[in-house]
Amino acid sequence: MEAGSMSLKITLDDERLTWAGAISMEFGNGWVKPWRIPHEKRSLFGPDELLARAGMPAGVRLSFRSNTEYVAGRIEPQSETSPLDLSCDGLFLRSVPLVNQDEFRFAGLTAGEKVIELWLPQFGEFRLKSLELSPGATLALYNDPHPRWTTYGSSITQCRTAESPTQTWPAIVARERGLNLTCLGYGGQCHLEPMIARMMRDLPADFISRCVGINIYGQGSLGPRTFRPAIIGFVETIRERHPDIPIAVMSPIYSPPREKTANAVGFTLEAMREEVALAVEALVACGDRNVHYIDGLEVFGPDLGHLLPDELHPSAEGYKLMGKNFLDKVVARVFPRTAGPE
């Protein structure tokens, strides 16, 4: 951190700071924490495992305009957390590790006003205690003008094992195609809960995608009787306030030991893909012309099986290829009206 009082110290509630991708902000005793659910209603979103993942800022960016030469801050140390990434005017500059750190600093920024985005850790909590810019620096609001994309899924969408926050597959897609990302990837906790559907219904969005099935398979939380209706009900809830936007519904990606092995309620991944496809077919047959089925194997199939170290989660390289495939197989087909990188 910069010693002395000449640095520009920003109050944590400064309205010129934008927490893009956050659903709500919690202000504690000298800290602020972004949430990916409305934290004041978190008792309605349980269980505790979901709350823990929703308290991790995957896809969240602290952004503003400034001519500062450095950005520094103090944070509450975390024993397990992903790095912090910095981009200026949409260009990635560098990452800093945060494990057991109580501060961060990005120095040597280019002169002149620029859009600064701090991509927060995709895994681990982030509690900011202070933020400082160089002496005399400007500070102005940045509202991301790009189309809004909300994506919902499991740990495969949260991307814990990606190299850094800008290297998750949702971040790769958003940065490549110029999308304003809200990432609702909750490790182990994608179970088509009605409260998540209601929350997504109420968020501004131009494009929505969902990857559903793998957590439901793992915990047997929905069976053949309830899975397809839950998918349909989730989409119909969103349609109450987003009647026309494209919605992509993706079935599970490849996972070798789960493809043909029935879980506790009799589901295999192969059967779940059929159910997702039938759910989308039913929605289309009843008049929804902008809901699209995406076979998860098109995005991450058997040809990439060597990039599944635990036969479930992609490696860092696997997430990069998943992002490329999602761009080619999903965005190009379902939501092609994007601006591309700045």
Residue 125 predicted with pLDDT over 80? yes
Domain of residue 323, residue span? 148-334
Mean of the per-residue pLDDT values for the chain? 96
User: Which residue, of 98, 133, 168, is where some domain finishes?
Assistant: 133
Give the model's pLDDT for residue 340: 42
Shared domain for 31 and 172, answered yes or no, is no
Residue 216 lies in a domain: yes
Shared domain for 251 and 119, answered yes or no, is no
Residue 277 predicted with pLDDT over 80? yes
Residue 340 lies in a domain: no
CATH of the domain at 43: 2.60.120.260
User: Percent of the chain having pLDDT more than 70?
Assistant: 97
Residue 139 lies in a domain: no
Residue 339 lies in a domain: no
Residue 33 lies in a domain: yes
Residue 341 lies in a domain: no
Predicted model pTM = 0.95
Shared domain for 129 and 209, answered yes or no, is no
Shared domain for 37 and 76, answered yes or no, is yes
Give the model's pLDDT for residue 3: 44
Q: Rounded distance, CA 86 to CA 19, Å? A: 14
Token couple for 43: 């008792």
Give the model's pLDDT for residue 337: 72
Residue 142 lies in a domain: no
How many domains in the chain? 2
Residue 41 lies in a domain: yes
Q: What is the pLDDT averaged over residues 20-43?
A: 97
Shared domain for 279 and 304, answered yes or no, is yes
Shared domain for 160 and 307, answered yes or no, is yes
Shared domain for 106 and 162, answered yes or no, is no
Shared domain for 193 and 125, answered yes or no, is no
Residue 230 predicted with pLDDT over 80? yes
Q: What is the pLDDT averaged over residues 246-261?
A: 98
pLDDT tens string 39-60: 999 999 989 999 999 999 999 9
User: Which residue, of 80, 109, 133, is where some domain finishes?
Assistant: 133
Lowest mean pLDDT among 86-95, 187-196, 259-268, 333-342: 333-342
User: Which residue, of 133, 159, 174, is where some domain finishes?
Assistant: 133
Model confidence at 338, pLDDT cuts 50, 70, 90, reads low
Shared domain for 22 and 83, answered yes or no, is yes
CATH of the domain at 213: 3.40.50.1110
Shared domain for 201 and 303, answered yes or no, is yes
Shared domain for 38 and 177, answered yes or no, is no
Shared domain for 123 and 181, answered yes or no, is no
pLDDT tens string 64-98: 999 999 999 999 999 999 999 999 999 999 999 99
Q: What is the pLDDT averaged over residues 126-151?
A: 97
